[in-house]
Amino acid sequence: MSGLRLLQSLQQIHSSLVLRRITAGLQVCFLTSAAALCQGCIHRPEAVTRSDRTEPTASSTSASLGSQTPTESADVGHAADRKFRIALDIGHTPHAPGAIGADGTKEYDFNQRIVDLLARELNKESNLQIIVINKDGHEISLERRSMLANAANADAFLAIHHDSANDRYLEAVKVDGKVYHQTKRFHGYSVFFSKKNPKFEDSQRFALALAKAMHQAGFTPTLHHAEPIPGENRELVDRELGVYRFDDLVVLKRSNMPSALLECGVIVNPDEERELEQTDRQMKIVQAVKTAILEFAQSAETSHSTPATAPSR
Ligand SMILES: [Zn+2]
Protein backbone atom coordinates (compact mmCIF):
# COMPACT_ATOMS: atom_id res chain seq x y z
CA MET A 1 0.00 0.00 0.00
CA SER A 2 3.03 2.30 -0.31
CA GLY A 3 1.45 3.84 -3.41
CA LEU A 4 -1.60 4.82 -1.38
CA ARG A 5 0.58 6.34 1.36
CA LEU A 6 2.52 8.31 -1.23
CA LEU A 7 -0.74 9.57 -2.72
CA GLN A 8 -2.01 10.57 0.72
CA SER A 9 1.23 12.42 1.46
CA LEU A 10 1.02 14.29 -1.82
CA GLN A 11 -2.60 15.15 -1.09
CA GLN A 12 -1.67 16.46 2.35
CA ILE A 13 1.10 18.64 0.91
CA HIS A 14 -1.23 19.92 -1.80
CA SER A 15 -4.00 20.51 0.68
CA SER A 16 -1.66 22.39 2.97
CA LEU A 17 -0.47 24.62 0.13
CA VAL A 18 -4.01 25.26 -1.06
CA LEU A 19 -5.18 26.10 2.44
CA ARG A 20 -2.29 28.51 2.92
CA ARG A 21 -3.22 30.29 -0.29
CA ILE A 22 -6.86 30.34 0.69
CA THR A 23 -6.10 31.68 4.16
CA ALA A 24 -4.02 34.46 2.62
CA GLY A 25 -6.87 35.35 0.30
CA LEU A 26 -9.53 35.44 2.97
CA GLN A 27 -8.14 37.90 5.44
CA VAL A 28 -11.14 40.16 5.24
CA CYS A 29 -13.40 37.25 5.92
CA PHE A 30 -11.40 36.07 8.92
CA LEU A 31 -11.07 39.59 10.28
CA THR A 32 -14.82 39.89 10.44
CA SER A 33 -17.02 37.55 12.41
CA ALA A 34 -17.74 35.71 9.17
CA ALA A 35 -15.03 33.07 9.49
CA ALA A 36 -17.63 30.34 9.32
CA LEU A 37 -18.64 31.59 5.90
CA CYS A 38 -15.26 30.54 4.56
CA GLN A 39 -15.95 26.85 4.87
CA GLY A 40 -19.27 26.43 3.14
CA CYS A 41 -20.44 25.15 -0.16
CA ILE A 42 -19.62 24.62 -3.74
CA HIS A 43 -17.47 27.71 -4.18
CA ARG A 44 -15.78 27.21 -0.84
CA PRO A 45 -12.26 25.88 -0.37
CA GLU A 46 -13.04 22.76 1.60
CA ALA A 47 -15.11 21.29 -1.18
CA VAL A 48 -12.10 21.03 -3.48
CA THR A 49 -9.38 20.28 -0.96
CA ARG A 50 -9.36 17.58 1.62
CA SER A 51 -10.19 17.53 5.26
CA ASP A 52 -7.88 15.65 7.61
CA ARG A 53 -10.65 14.73 9.95
CA THR A 54 -10.79 11.01 9.49
CA GLU A 55 -12.80 9.37 12.23
CA PRO A 56 -14.46 6.48 10.48
CA THR A 57 -18.17 6.27 10.45
CA ALA A 58 -20.78 4.69 8.27
CA SER A 59 -24.46 4.67 8.79
CA SER A 60 -26.95 2.65 6.93
CA THR A 61 -30.53 1.65 7.23
CA SER A 62 -29.25 -1.82 6.50
CA ALA A 63 -27.67 -3.64 9.40
CA SER A 64 -25.69 -5.74 6.96
CA LEU A 65 -23.87 -2.66 5.76
CA GLY A 66 -23.61 -0.80 9.01
CA SER A 67 -20.46 -2.50 10.28
CA GLN A 68 -18.50 -2.35 7.07
CA THR A 69 -15.45 -0.19 6.68
CA PRO A 70 -13.94 0.91 3.37
CA THR A 71 -11.21 -1.71 3.71
CA GLU A 72 -13.76 -4.49 3.84
CA SER A 73 -15.44 -5.84 0.80
CA ALA A 74 -19.09 -5.00 0.52
CA ASP A 75 -19.34 -8.05 -1.73
CA VAL A 76 -22.98 -7.69 -2.55
CA GLY A 77 -22.60 -8.45 -6.23
CA HIS A 78 -25.03 -7.41 -8.89
CA ALA A 79 -27.66 -10.09 -8.66
CA ALA A 80 -30.71 -9.57 -10.83
CA ASP A 81 -32.96 -9.03 -7.81
CA ARG A 82 -30.52 -6.74 -6.08
CA LYS A 83 -31.93 -3.45 -4.85
CA PHE A 84 -30.69 -0.15 -6.24
CA ARG A 85 -28.42 1.39 -3.63
CA ILE A 86 -28.48 5.13 -3.22
CA ALA A 87 -25.87 6.75 -0.96
CA LEU A 88 -27.05 10.01 0.62
CA ASP A 89 -24.24 12.20 1.88
CA ILE A 90 -25.09 14.80 4.54
CA GLY A 91 -22.88 17.77 3.62
CA HIS A 92 -20.56 19.03 6.39
CA THR A 93 -20.65 18.16 10.10
CA PRO A 94 -22.00 19.76 13.30
CA HIS A 95 -18.52 21.11 14.13
CA ALA A 96 -17.70 22.28 10.59
CA PRO A 97 -21.24 23.17 9.54
CA GLY A 98 -20.59 24.80 6.15
CA ALA A 99 -22.40 28.00 5.26
CA ILE A 100 -24.18 30.04 7.90
CA GLY A 101 -27.70 31.15 7.00
CA ALA A 102 -28.94 34.72 7.01
CA ASP A 103 -30.35 34.27 10.53
CA GLY A 104 -27.49 32.13 11.82
CA THR A 105 -28.92 28.68 11.11
CA LYS A 106 -26.14 26.28 10.13
CA GLU A 107 -26.04 24.64 6.73
CA TYR A 108 -25.39 21.23 8.27
CA ASP A 109 -28.75 21.39 10.04
CA PHE A 110 -30.53 22.04 6.73
CA ASN A 111 -28.62 19.23 5.02
CA GLN A 112 -29.27 16.76 7.82
CA ARG A 113 -33.01 17.51 7.80
CA ILE A 114 -33.38 16.98 4.06
CA VAL A 115 -31.40 13.73 4.11
CA ASP A 116 -33.46 12.46 7.04
CA LEU A 117 -36.76 13.24 5.27
CA LEU A 118 -35.46 11.88 1.98
CA ALA A 119 -34.24 8.63 3.52
CA ARG A 120 -37.65 8.09 5.11
CA GLU A 121 -39.41 8.66 1.79
CA LEU A 122 -37.04 6.46 -0.19
CA ASN A 123 -37.35 3.67 2.36
CA LYS A 124 -40.97 3.31 1.27
CA GLU A 125 -39.73 2.04 -2.10
CA SER A 126 -39.12 -1.69 -2.10
CA ASN A 127 -36.57 -1.56 -4.91
CA LEU A 128 -34.26 0.90 -3.14
CA GLN A 129 -31.68 0.49 -0.41
CA ILE A 130 -30.62 3.66 1.38
CA ILE A 131 -27.12 4.28 2.67
CA VAL A 132 -26.76 7.45 4.71
CA ILE A 133 -23.17 8.65 4.87
CA ASN A 134 -22.17 10.03 8.27
CA LYS A 135 -25.63 9.82 9.78
CA ASP A 136 -24.30 10.55 13.28
CA GLY A 137 -22.40 13.68 12.30
CA HIS A 138 -18.87 12.56 13.15
CA GLU A 139 -15.90 14.46 11.80
CA ILE A 140 -15.05 12.85 8.49
CA SER A 141 -12.85 13.65 5.49
CA LEU A 142 -14.31 14.19 2.05
CA GLU A 143 -12.41 11.19 0.70
CA ARG A 144 -13.80 9.04 3.47
CA ARG A 145 -17.34 9.88 2.44
CA SER A 146 -16.63 8.52 -1.04
CA MET A 147 -14.76 5.53 0.33
CA LEU A 148 -17.79 4.54 2.40
CA ALA A 149 -20.06 4.76 -0.64
CA ASN A 150 -17.56 2.74 -2.69
CA ALA A 151 -17.25 0.09 0.03
CA ALA A 152 -21.02 -0.19 0.22
CA ASN A 153 -21.11 -0.74 -3.54
CA ALA A 154 -23.64 2.05 -3.99
CA ASP A 155 -25.24 2.50 -7.40
CA ALA A 156 -25.52 6.27 -7.08
CA PHE A 157 -24.20 8.95 -4.75
CA LEU A 158 -26.01 12.16 -3.88
CA ALA A 159 -24.49 14.88 -1.69
CA ILE A 160 -27.01 17.26 -0.13
CA HIS A 161 -25.98 20.86 0.54
CA HIS A 162 -27.42 24.34 0.93
CA ASP A 163 -25.81 27.27 -0.77
CA SER A 164 -24.07 30.50 0.12
CA ALA A 165 -22.87 33.24 -2.24
CA ASN A 166 -19.56 34.76 -3.19
CA ASP A 167 -18.08 36.83 -0.36
CA ARG A 168 -18.21 40.01 -2.46
CA TYR A 169 -22.01 40.00 -2.33
CA LEU A 170 -22.46 39.29 1.36
CA GLU A 171 -23.49 42.15 3.63
CA ALA A 172 -23.16 42.16 7.40
CA VAL A 173 -26.54 42.39 9.12
CA LYS A 174 -27.28 42.30 12.83
CA VAL A 175 -29.83 39.67 13.86
CA ASP A 176 -30.72 39.46 17.56
CA GLY A 177 -27.53 41.27 18.46
CA LYS A 178 -25.30 39.00 16.35
CA VAL A 179 -23.76 39.79 12.99
CA TYR A 180 -24.56 37.48 10.07
CA HIS A 181 -23.88 37.83 6.37
CA GLN A 182 -26.57 37.80 3.74
CA THR A 183 -27.62 38.83 0.26
CA LYS A 184 -30.90 38.92 -1.60
CA ARG A 185 -29.24 38.82 -5.02
CA PHE A 186 -29.42 35.05 -5.47
CA HIS A 187 -31.89 32.30 -4.83
CA GLY A 188 -32.56 28.84 -6.14
CA TYR A 189 -31.09 25.36 -6.44
CA SER A 190 -28.10 24.09 -8.43
CA VAL A 191 -26.77 20.65 -9.33
CA PHE A 192 -23.16 19.62 -9.93
CA PHE A 193 -21.35 16.66 -11.47
CA SER A 194 -17.67 15.93 -12.13
CA LYS A 195 -16.09 14.78 -15.35
CA LYS A 196 -13.40 13.16 -13.20
CA ASN A 197 -15.93 10.69 -11.86
CA PRO A 198 -15.30 7.29 -13.48
CA LYS A 199 -18.98 7.23 -14.53
CA PHE A 200 -19.15 10.85 -15.57
CA GLU A 201 -21.70 10.37 -18.36
CA ASP A 202 -24.07 8.67 -15.95
CA SER A 203 -23.22 11.33 -13.37
CA GLN A 204 -24.28 14.02 -15.82
CA ARG A 205 -27.46 12.10 -16.58
CA PHE A 206 -28.18 11.79 -12.85
CA ALA A 207 -27.51 15.51 -12.32
CA LEU A 208 -29.84 16.40 -15.19
CA ALA A 209 -32.56 14.13 -13.80
CA LEU A 210 -32.29 15.84 -10.41
CA ALA A 211 -32.36 19.32 -11.92
CA LYS A 212 -35.27 18.47 -14.19
CA ALA A 213 -37.29 17.15 -11.25
CA MET A 214 -36.52 20.28 -9.20
CA HIS A 215 -37.46 22.49 -12.14
CA GLN A 216 -40.70 20.62 -12.75
CA ALA A 217 -41.53 20.98 -9.04
CA GLY A 218 -41.54 24.74 -9.62
CA PHE A 219 -38.09 25.66 -8.33
CA THR A 220 -35.78 27.96 -10.23
CA PRO A 221 -32.05 27.40 -10.60
CA THR A 222 -29.46 29.90 -9.47
CA LEU A 223 -26.92 30.77 -12.14
CA HIS A 224 -24.51 32.71 -9.95
CA HIS A 225 -21.88 29.98 -9.88
CA ALA A 226 -21.20 30.65 -13.57
CA GLU A 227 -20.20 34.26 -13.02
CA PRO A 228 -16.60 34.76 -14.25
CA ILE A 229 -15.15 35.83 -10.90
CA PRO A 230 -12.72 34.14 -8.50
CA GLY A 231 -14.44 31.43 -6.51
CA GLU A 232 -17.16 30.87 -9.12
CA ASN A 233 -16.69 30.60 -12.90
CA ARG A 234 -18.18 27.10 -13.11
CA GLU A 235 -19.21 25.64 -16.42
CA LEU A 236 -22.96 25.87 -16.76
CA VAL A 237 -23.90 22.77 -18.73
CA ASP A 238 -27.64 23.43 -18.73
CA ARG A 239 -28.73 27.00 -18.08
CA GLU A 240 -32.46 26.28 -17.98
CA LEU A 241 -32.08 23.45 -15.47
CA GLY A 242 -29.14 24.80 -13.46
CA VAL A 243 -26.64 21.98 -13.99
CA TYR A 244 -22.94 22.69 -13.59
CA ARG A 245 -19.77 20.74 -14.25
CA PHE A 246 -17.26 21.01 -11.39
CA ASP A 247 -14.56 18.41 -11.89
CA ASP A 248 -12.58 18.75 -8.65
CA LEU A 249 -15.31 18.38 -6.10
CA VAL A 250 -13.77 15.60 -4.01
CA VAL A 251 -16.89 13.63 -3.14
CA LEU A 252 -17.94 13.55 -6.80
CA LYS A 253 -14.62 12.57 -8.34
CA ARG A 254 -13.65 10.00 -5.69
CA SER A 255 -16.92 8.11 -5.69
CA ASN A 256 -16.89 5.24 -8.17
CA MET A 257 -20.57 5.36 -8.99
CA PRO A 258 -22.67 8.03 -10.78
CA SER A 259 -22.55 11.01 -8.43
CA ALA A 260 -24.13 14.43 -8.10
CA LEU A 261 -24.31 17.25 -5.57
CA LEU A 262 -27.49 19.21 -4.98
CA GLU A 263 -27.52 22.69 -3.47
CA CYS A 264 -31.15 22.83 -2.36
CA GLY A 265 -31.34 26.62 -2.08
CA VAL A 266 -29.46 29.73 -0.97
CA ILE A 267 -29.56 30.08 2.81
CA VAL A 268 -27.69 33.41 2.93
CA ASN A 269 -30.76 34.86 1.21
CA PRO A 270 -33.05 35.65 4.18
CA ASP A 271 -36.23 35.15 2.13
CA GLU A 272 -35.17 31.79 0.76
CA GLU A 273 -33.78 30.70 4.11
CA ARG A 274 -37.18 31.26 5.70
CA GLU A 275 -38.81 29.19 2.95
CA LEU A 276 -36.26 26.40 3.37
CA GLU A 277 -37.10 26.22 7.05
CA GLN A 278 -40.72 25.35 6.17
CA THR A 279 -41.72 21.69 6.14
CA ASP A 280 -43.77 22.18 2.95
CA ARG A 281 -40.75 23.41 1.05
CA GLN A 282 -38.56 20.63 2.45
CA MET A 283 -41.06 17.96 1.43
CA LYS A 284 -41.39 19.46 -2.04
CA ILE A 285 -37.62 19.19 -2.47
CA VAL A 286 -37.67 15.64 -1.10
CA GLN A 287 -40.42 14.57 -3.50
CA ALA A 288 -38.57 16.06 -6.46
CA VAL A 289 -35.32 14.33 -5.52
CA LYS A 290 -37.17 11.08 -4.95
CA THR A 291 -38.70 11.32 -8.42
CA ALA A 292 -35.24 11.79 -9.95
CA ILE A 293 -33.69 8.91 -7.99
CA LEU A 294 -36.49 6.54 -8.97
CA GLU A 295 -36.17 7.58 -12.61
CA PHE A 296 -32.42 7.11 -12.53
CA ALA A 297 -32.73 3.73 -10.78
CA GLN A 298 -35.26 2.64 -13.38
CA SER A 299 -32.99 3.66 -16.25
CA ALA A 300 -30.03 1.86 -14.66
CA GLU A 301 -32.11 -1.28 -14.29
CA THR A 302 -33.21 -1.05 -17.92
CA SER A 303 -29.65 -0.64 -19.17
CA HIS A 304 -28.46 -3.59 -17.04
CA SER A 305 -31.16 -5.81 -18.48
CA THR A 306 -30.47 -4.73 -22.07
CA PRO A 307 -28.93 -7.61 -24.07
CA ALA A 308 -25.29 -7.04 -25.03
CA THR A 309 -26.20 -7.17 -28.70
CA ALA A 310 -28.74 -4.38 -28.44
CA PRO A 311 -27.75 -0.94 -29.62
CA SER A 312 -26.41 1.20 -26.80
CA ARG A 313 -28.59 4.14 -25.80
ZN1 LIG B 1 -22.16 22.89 1.66
Distance of CA 304 to the CA centre of its chain: 26
Mean pLDDT of all residues in 285-300: 97
Ligand 1 centre from 77 Cα, in Å? Answer: 32
Residue 143 lies in a domain: yes
Report how far apart, in Å, the C-alpha atoms of 39 and of each of 49, 54, 93 are: 11, 17, 11
Residue 252 lies in a domain: yes
Mean pLDDT of all residues in 286-312: 78
Structure confidence at residue 56 as a pLDDT band (50, 70, 90)? very low
pTM for the model stands at 0.78
Ligand 1 centre from 161 Cα, in Å? Answer: 4
Give percent above pLDDT 90 in the chain.
69
Ligand 1 centre from 114 Cα, in Å? Answer: 13
Q: Which residues pair with 161 in a beta bridge?
A: 263
Percentage helix, strand, coil for the chain under 3-state DSSP, each rounded to 5: 40, 20, 40
Residue 310 lies in a domain: no
Burial of 232 (0-12, 13-18, 19+ CB in 10 A): middle
Residue 58 lies in a domain: yes
- Average pLDDT value for the chain: 80
Question: Is 73's pLDDT higher than 70?
Answer: no
Ligand 1 centre from 107 Cα, in Å? Answer: 7
Full domain range(s) for residue 239: 9-305
Ligand 1 centre from 188 Cα, in Å? Answer: 14
Residue 42 lies in a domain: yes
Residue 253 lies in a domain: yes
Segment 241-290, tens digit of pLDDT: 999 999 999 999 999 999 999 999 999 999 999 999 999 999 999 999 99
Would you state the pLDDT for residue 59? 39
Ligand 1 centre from 30 Cα, in Å? Answer: 18
Distance of CA 123 to the CA centre of its chain: 20
Residue 195 lies in a domain: yes
Domains: count for the chain: 1
With vertex at residue 43, the alpha carbon angle to CA 207 and CA 212, rounded to the nearest 5 degrees, is 20
Pairing relationship of beta strands 243-245 and 235-238 according to DSSP bridges: antiparallel
Segment 139-191, tens digit of pLDDT: 999 999 999 999 999 999 999 999 999 999 999 999 889 999 999 999 999 99
Higher pLDDT, 59 or 292: 292
Residue 312 lies in a domain: no
Would you state the pLDDT for residue 33? 26
Higher pLDDT, 82 or 303: 82
**Which residues neighbour ligand 1 (ion) by CB within 5 Å?**
41, 91, 98, 161
Question: Is 199's pLDDT higher than 60?
Answer: yes
Say which CATH number the domain at 77 has: 3.40.630.40
